Chain A
């Protein structure tokens, strides 16, 4: 099993550009989530999904969109990047949400 994979590893954007951060898991997990990690703030939940076709907002959803068309994939979209979205983004999955979470390696995003 590859576990949770994320692409790209690193990305530089200009303010106003859009992009999609990819996340995939091969463990047949129903629950997937996106976090951002900022210095001194810990990880904060952006969006999560409890299964294909079902998504919900986390603590800091503004500026981000998600969709879950398959069990395996959970992309995160930035529609119009802002410098405040400079962060490290982690995707995680677990079987149904209440168990051990498995994290991807992260995507470092710099918005200029």
Chain B
């Protein structure tokens, strides 16, 4: 069964700092990997989707990389802002004995201090 781990569980940084969030997964047979943002009491908002054949995706101040062979992905946030404070989740779309499924990590709670 695919296991997805996110480290650290919580992170606090001063405004303006660049930061990296980590995601690791145990089975490299994946379709894609997706990064989400979740604000307290809200649903998930998709940030970036990386297909298994891609190495990275960029959107504004966000850059996500994927190393399928080592089972790792990183989300790089440049010049962090207080509005970036949220929980960041990664999800892996992969095969399982019950079909193809999405497996989520438990998230990294980010606080950007003004």
Contact = CB atoms under 8 A, between A and B. Distances in A.
Contacts of A4: 43
A105 B43 contact: yes
Contact of B93 (A41, A44, A98): A98
Contacts of A44: 104
B100 interface: yes
Contacts, number: 59
B4 interface: yes
Most chain A CB atoms below 10 A, which of B4, B34, B44, B46: B44
A100 B104 CA distance: 14
Contacts of A57: 98
A102 B47 CA distance: 11
B70 to A, nearest CB: 21
A25 interface: no
B34 A33 contact: no
B43 A90 contact: yes
B40 to A, nearest CB: 11
The range of chain B's interface size is: 20 to 34
A42 B23 CA distance: 13
A97 B101 CA distance: 9
B60 to A, nearest CB: 16
Interface residues of A, number: 26
B28 interface: no
The 4 A-B pairs at the shortest CB distance, nearest first, are namely A103-B43, A43-B104, A103-B44, A42-B104
15 contacts: A40-B106, A42-B4, A43-B104, A44-B104, A45-B101, A48-B101, A57-B98, A58-B101, A59-B98, A59-B101, A90-B44, A100-B46, A100-B49, A101-B91, A105-B42
Given A103-B44, A105-B42, 18 more contacts: A40-B106, A42-B4, A42-B106, A43-B44, A44-B104, A48-B101, A97-B93, A97-B100, A98-B31, A98-B32, A98-B93, A99-B49, A100-B46, A100-B49, A103-B36, A103-B43, A106-B41, A106-B43
